[in-house]
Structure 1
């Protein structure tokens, strides 16, 4: 045998290396057979990258190309991971609602979301159900009504800031981000930031650092194949700057300790205090076994506080800025919204919690903005067992994604989808349309838990501003806007507009 090896043109070491590389190549490419075996079409993947290289113009652009070419069900790969893309509304309803028990978890991203461990975004199965059950009552209508005076105060501060900036070119994303930070800080934690007048406050600078995360890290994590990517978990690799997430974690822990050490917080109504009432100390003891009962652990309170703080900051600010942009480009819609606000104020005497719920046309404008610029371009679920739905076989472990941006721009569902038409959300049009054609807040039991607070915050800010001012375009206004290459509704280059005093009596506008 040894003599025969000497006859080989290459040394045994090179042969062994070649065999190892061959097996590793087969290991890397083996998942690429997944969708062919399932009879599902899709773009051809590239070794290590999968279809990531096609994201260079934006994942939503790639999704739209695939949707048009392969239909409403197709398969893609991120690295070597197969992802089933589903844009069929009937399948979406089945997966997110009717058969939710088979698709109740999101993708496990390991250490990437470690700073938010214990949050609803990360938790699975019974832990998710328990924590969702504890958090949902903290955002009930009665609790939001109690918090609404804090939102009103922040909205009044926003109007004061815009009064000082009247006539100047303003990046609406910046000023509405400050407003959103003030709202979240006060309603969630009883902390007065006044970011509108203190743009360099540590809360603001650290939040910006988190949302300026390096997407190269995310791509690197997903593209590097096993077993090498397991090193990231060992190193505590995360998408987010550690100094920024540590800042918010330590802030939440500090406020928690202050609340627990003080007897003066029993009547306080904010998100953190309501979660503290649901604190179960038994769940803090990781070594404890047996039935621990309902409630939240300290880690779950911290994780959900951080998610609430940060998600409520960026996406909400983007949505307010983008609605202002759409209204600046559609003065007729803006006048109609202002007229509605004027009539409600005349009838009620002020813009408060009840008044905001009467601003139906303004809500139509916000929803239409969220259709064009959804807060998440995709959302996902993971299949926990082999499932057959309407002739489609979905194997256990499959990551299922729903291309929200594409669905919101499907001309069969939304004629002239790029046009801003708030009337799409009138009662008459909504009654004629499949409810799963609008997925801004997700769908089913795992839909966004904070959507009612977000809508209150958005509508109150716009109503207070439109009562006094008119949004108009300026020299720096970009048409169309450039969406950032991420999964959110962030805009490249800012959302630049001016505000002018509203001279015309809005009540004179024809409805």
Structure 2
């Protein structure tokens, strides 16, 4: 890429020079050629430095920031660029939840956090999460002797069943229903992302559109059925499920339904892939896996799964998960819209600029992560973590538009890892390449296939 100096007006009438790639167009061809926006961002920052101006479909002007110190200037922004999140609009009838104005977003977010970030709510659902995780381990034990296991497929379905139980408040989805919900989300998102990035797909446009509409209708019907049952039945006294919390906050039925769908979509993708990438890394670093299992044995003894209170006593497991999400962040990027002029180091960007968060590039910034490609969980020991800027690690985003389900995702992921690592050793299937791709989250192109070996398992009672 050739260097182009882009002149951006500063508040004092001077000009800041922001480097970036030369050429016209919206950047789509370059993104496709790089193998996705996540790869494109890594290349841009490797060539041009921590602040880059670049063309982005749906944004007239985009500035990407890979330095955690400079990101602080953006941390309070509560607006997202409408065009970049248009592909999610078909899932929603009450306004795009990803781009609703700040005044409307704040009370909605507060209602979500009252459940998704609440310890009382986590504890209320934890036993059911354990049952679901152990059920997956049992199925894997039965299937492992016949063939390798597809991690992402099974772990995404597990995460979806967990979030169904959590969000819907009427028990987890059946395995058959969870599989159909996963498939329906894939149909909707594949069609919308293909339109966004102008990707050619098999079949006619009419057939794909029809399939996506059928899938969306099914998803809405699932949630509508639960909403009807919820209204007719007794309400939990502590409002520990998402529907109850949204109703108490005065949200409309349409907004509640949209919120449930968006929560289910985000949670089943992100948590499932986070656990998958963690197991992928542990399979390549057996010494780290053994240290994790030793910690589990010392805390759990013969118990097959942790209690909620045990999670705080598993610091190395937490470090391993965090280091995995540094190397393979489930959501590899995010975006905000500057609501006022911003100063980013030596650069000034005007209001209205799309501020792009290249999360993967931030996590691989060698200034803050020495040997950034190396898997080393000790980076997250308290003493090392204290030496880094707070925004050097942002797997759940930044500021008031960061992921409301971050705390819940960590609980689900740590529990799932604890159950599975107690039960199995993981070895990558031979001759199966693992290639990260962008598919709403950082996915493995053909899944991550593993051979499983049973450990001397804890009591299965």
What TM-score do you get using the length of structure 1 for normalisation?
A: 0.78
Quick check: 1:120–1:131 contact (8 Å CA) kept in 2? no
Identify the residue that residue 130 of structure 1 maps to in structure 2. Answer: 107
Identify the residue that residue 124 of structure 2 maps to in structure 1. Answer: 146
Looking at structure 2, the residues matched to 358 and 205 of structure 1 have their Cα atoms a distance apart, in angstroms, of: 37
Query: Residue 244 of structure 1: CA displacement?
Result: 2.1
Query: Residue 217 of structure 1: CA displacement?
Result: 0.4
Identify the residue that residue 221 of structure 2 maps to in structure 1. Answer: 250
2:446 to 493, 502, 507: 493
CA 1:262–1:194 in structure 2 vs 1: closer, same or farther (change >3 Å)? closer
Looking at structure 2, the residues matched to 345 and 268 of structure 1 have their Cα atoms a distance apart, in angstroms, of: 30
Q: Deviations over 1:239-296 (max 9, x none)?
A: x923222222222222112211234665773222222232x2xxxxxxxxxxxxxxx2
Query: Residue 65 of structure 1: CA displacement?
Result: 1.9
Alignment of 1:416-495 (within 5 A): 416-478=371-433, 481-486=434-439, 488-495=441-448
2:310 is paired with a residue whose SS is helix
CA 1:81–1:487 in structure 2 vs 1: closer, same or farther (change >3 Å)? farther
Identify the residue that residue 106 of structure 1 maps to in structure 2. Answer: 80
Q: Does 1:94 align with 2:68?
A: no
Alignment of 1:269-418 (within 5 A): 269-278=240-249, 280=250, 296-346=251-301, 351-418=306-373
Query: Residue 362 of structure 1: CA displacement?
Result: 0.9
2:46 to 68, 71, 87: 68
Whose strand proportion is higher, 1 or 2? 2
1:171 to 146, 150, 164: 150
Larger radius of gyration: 1
Quick check: 2:36–2:438 contact (8 Å CA) kept in 1? yes
CA 1:60–1:349 in structure 2 vs 1: closer, same or farther (change >3 Å)? closer
Quick check: 1:45–1:51 contact (8 Å CA) kept in 2? no
Identify the residue that residue 156 of structure 1 maps to in structure 2. Answer: 134
Query: Residue 201 of structure 1: CA displacement?
Result: 4.2
Looking at structure 2, the residues matched to 468 and 128 of structure 1 have their Cα atoms a distance apart, in angstroms, of: 42
Q: Does 1:218 align with 2:173?
A: no
Identify the residue that residue 24 of structure 1 maps to in structure 2. Answer: none
Quick check: 2:326–2:393 contact (8 Å CA) kept in 1? yes
Query: Residue 34 of structure 1: CA displacement?
Result: 6.4
Query: Residue 487 of structure 1: CA displacement?
Result: 5.1
Larger relative contact order (C-alpha < 8 A, sep ≥ 6)? 2
2:64 is paired with a residue whose SS is strand
Query: Residue 392 of structure 1: CA displacement?
Result: 2.5
2:269 is paired with a residue whose SS is helix
Identify the residue that residue 241 of structure 1 maps to in structure 2. Answer: 212
Looking at structure 2, the residues matched to 266 and 62 of structure 1 have their Cα atoms a distance apart, in angstroms, of: 49
Looking at structure 1, the residues matched to 297 and 215 of structure 2 have their Cα atoms a distance apart, in angstroms, of: 42
Q: Does 1:208 align with 2:208?
A: no
Looking at structure 2, the residues matched to 180 and 458 of structure 1 have their Cα atoms a distance apart, in angstroms, of: 9
Quick check: 1:379–1:442 contact (8 Å CA) kept in 2? yes
CA 1:431–1:337 in structure 2 vs 1: closer, same or farther (change >3 Å)? same
What TM-score do you get using the length of structure 2 for normalisation?
A: 0.86
Query: Residue 194 of structure 1: CA displacement?
Result: 3.2
Looking at structure 1, the residues matched to 81 and 272 of structure 2 have their Cα atoms a distance apart, in angstroms, of: 26
When structure 1 is superposed on structure 2, of 461-470 and 166-175 the one drifting more is 166-175
Any unmatched runs of 5+ in structure 2?
A: 10-14, 200-207
**Equivalent pairs, count:** 433
Quick check: 1:118–1:304 contact (8 Å CA) kept in 2? no
1:323 is paired with a residue whose SS is helix
CA 1:337–1:119 in structure 2 vs 1: closer, same or farther (change >3 Å)? farther
Q: Deviations over 1:211-233 (max 9, x none)?
A: 44453301249xxxxxxxxxxxx
Looking at structure 2, the residues matched to 365 and 260 of structure 1 have their Cα atoms a distance apart, in angstroms, of: 42
CA 1:262–1:345 in structure 2 vs 1: closer, same or farther (change >3 Å)? same
Identify the residue that residue 508 of structure 1 maps to in structure 2. Answer: none
Q: Does 1:53 align with 2:8?
A: no
Identify the residue that residue 181 of structure 1 maps to in structure 2. Answer: 160
CA 1:179–1:407 in structure 2 vs 1: closer, same or farther (change >3 Å)? same
Looking at structure 1, the residues matched to 114 and 285 of structure 2 have their Cα atoms a distance apart, in angstroms, of: 38
Any unmatched runs of 5+ in structure 1?
A: 1-31, 222-236, 281-295, 506-511
Q: Deviations over 1:413-438 (max 9, x none)?
A: 22222221111111121112222111
2:62 is paired with a residue whose SS is strand
When structure 1 is superposed on structure 2, of 78-87 and 447-456 the one drifting more is 78-87
Query: Residue 447 of structure 1: CA displacement?
Result: 1.6
Looking at structure 2, the residues matched to 498 and 144 of structure 1 have their Cα atoms a distance apart, in angstroms, of: 32
Quick check: 1:328–1:473 contact (8 Å CA) kept in 2? yes
Quick check: 2:67–2:392 contact (8 Å CA) kept in 1? no
Looking at structure 1, the residues matched to 449 and 303 of structure 2 have their Cα atoms a distance apart, in angstroms, of: 33
